[in-house]
Amino acid sequence: MRKYIIANWKMHYGPIKAGAWIRAFRRERLPKDLDIGVAIPHISFAAARSSLGRASVPWLGAQNVCWAEEGAYTGETSPGMLQELGSTFCIVGHSERRLLLGETDEMISKKVAALVHQKIQPIICIGETEVQRKKGEASKIVRAQLTSALSGLKSAQGVDIVIAYEPVWAIGSGKPCEPNDARQMHEVARDVLKKKFGKDGETMRVIYGGSVDVRTVHEYVSTTAIDGVLVGGASLDPRAFGLVCRAASPA
């Protein structure tokens, strides 16, 4: 399975800086055996696409979506609008949105279903807090969050859903989760996927996110159970993100 390397800019880079990032990243020598994407602010899609020109790397994706297709949802963006923007994937349920912006499990499951309906690949973020891990509840939380996020779907409808295991305590903290601990949580996520989707659930990607950088990326992607990484802070500089991509695939 090709590994995913997905950048998450979070709330950085409006159109001017986004265009410059893409132009600089296009100068990077990138491994051909990886799938590389960048999750960008909605406002920056047009600039990023025009800087991308005919290049097919990186894919562009969004960081959030509304579950409804149209209507009285002031300030929101629908899956159909994301498609018009050229978003091939969309992060859903990032812990920053859960913790800072009041996103609930129910909202996340509706967003996942709406994206799948629109054939946009959801990257569903799940992960426990530090307190939950200390209490030995990590597996229980990961299982419950993922089961709930998928609850609006009967089948994957041909969409290659991606799960990002992102322990909250590892995000932006400089304290990444040990690959072996991450592997255990990935196995929990895989079990949920297989129970839900049968054979399709065996091949969906389960990636890791949380303080991954150029020094640590290879440890994750060389672990069989880890199908790639979601990279926040270390993706903000296009050269640094190019280094992460090369380190992920040193061959």
The tokens of 65 are what?
Answer: 């979506």
**Least distance in angstroms from the C-beta of 160 to ligand PEP:** 19
Residue 187 annotated among the catalytic residues of the structure: no
**CA 168/CA 83 separation, integer angstroms:** 29
For residues 10 to 29, the per-residue mask of contacts with ligand PEP, x marking binding by CB under 6 A and - elsewhere, is x-------------------
Report the residue from 22, 163, 231, 244 that binds ligand PEP according to the rule CB under 6 A. 231
Report the residue from 118, 211, 216, 249 that binds ligand PEP according to the rule CB under 6 A. 211
Q: Which is nearer to ligand PEP, 10 or 186 (CB)?
A: 10
**Least distance in angstroms from the C-beta of 195 to ligand PEP:** 26
Do the Cβ atoms of 110 and 152 come closer than 8 Å? yes
**Least distance in angstroms from the C-beta of 38 to ligand PEP:** 12
Report the residue from 209, 228, 238, 242 that binds ligand PEP according to the rule CB under 6 A. 209
For residues 154 to 193, the per-residue mask of contacts with ligand PEP, x marking binding by CB under 6 A and - elsewhere, is ------------x----xx---------------------
The tokens of 63 are what?
Answer: 């960081």
The amino acid present at 155, given as its one-letter code, is S
Residue 178 annotated among the catalytic residues of the structure: no
Q: Is 66 near ligand PEP (CB under 6 A)?
A: no
Of the residues 94, 96, 103, 186, only one is catalytic, namely 94
Q: Is 214 near ligand PEP (CB under 6 A)?
A: no
Per DSSP, 129 falls in state -
Q: How far out from the chain centre does Cα 133 lie?
A: 22
Do the Cβ atoms of 149 and 105 come closer than 8 Å? yes
User: Which residues make Cβ contacts (< 8 Å) with residue 202, sequence separation at least 6?
Assistant: 190, 193, 194
**Least distance in angstroms from the C-beta of 230 to ligand PEP:** 5
**CA 151/CA 147 separation, integer angstroms:** 6
Report the residue from 230, 244, 245, 247 that binds ligand PEP according to the rule CB under 6 A. 230
Do the Cβ atoms of 44 and 13 come closer than 8 Å? yes
Do the Cβ atoms of 151 and 161 come closer than 8 Å? no
* H or E, element range at 130: helix 130-134
Burial category of 243 from C-beta neighbours within 10 Å (exposed 0-12, middle 13-18, buried 19 and up): middle
Number of chain residues interacting with ligand PEP (CB under 6 A): 14
Residues making contact with ligand PEP (CB under 6 A): 8, 10, 166, 171-172, 209-212, 230-234
Mind telling me the catalytic residues? 94, 166
